[in-house]
Structure 1
Amino acid sequence: MQNIISTINDDGTYGLYVAEDFVKLVQDRLDQNGIEWRRTDVRMGYTDYNSGQSADFGQFQLVSEVGADRFLEIVRILRK
């Protein structure tokens, strides 16, 4: 089951949907790596059709503008 889903928003910014069970871990990792973020009120349900597991996800947006390479680096940091 995925715990983090990366997105490109309509306005060209990057965001992350994070499973609610992993929010604290993601917040800590973003803070430890000096990555500015804000949590939004947007929620998304997700079902893994291979396993049948479901989870609620909350959206995070990165505050500072980052390019695609930096965003991929951030996603790698979070998935460690």
Structure 2
Amino acid sequence: MPDATSKTSDATTTITREEVGRLAHLARIDLSDAELDHLGPQLAVILESVAKVGEVAVDDIAPSSHALPLTNVFRD
């Protein structure tokens, strides 16, 4: 399957019916023809949203595994 970001035009990602079918096959999900047509635009919106998150500048933010400092509590 081609890279989903390679099909961009005018900042809009398009997911073809065949790509949705291939993803469904890999996930072992049976989809009807109507579902294949319906899910393409929805997956495109998801990919665009993920791309927006990737554009956030986080160079000056220290990596963390949790938003709040936690201490492990073990049973005695």
Same fold (TM over 0.5): no
TM-score (norm 1): 0.25
Structure with the larger RCO, 1 or 2 (CA within 8 Å, 6+ apart) = 1
TM-score (norm 2): 0.26
Report the structure number with the largest CA radius of gyration: 2
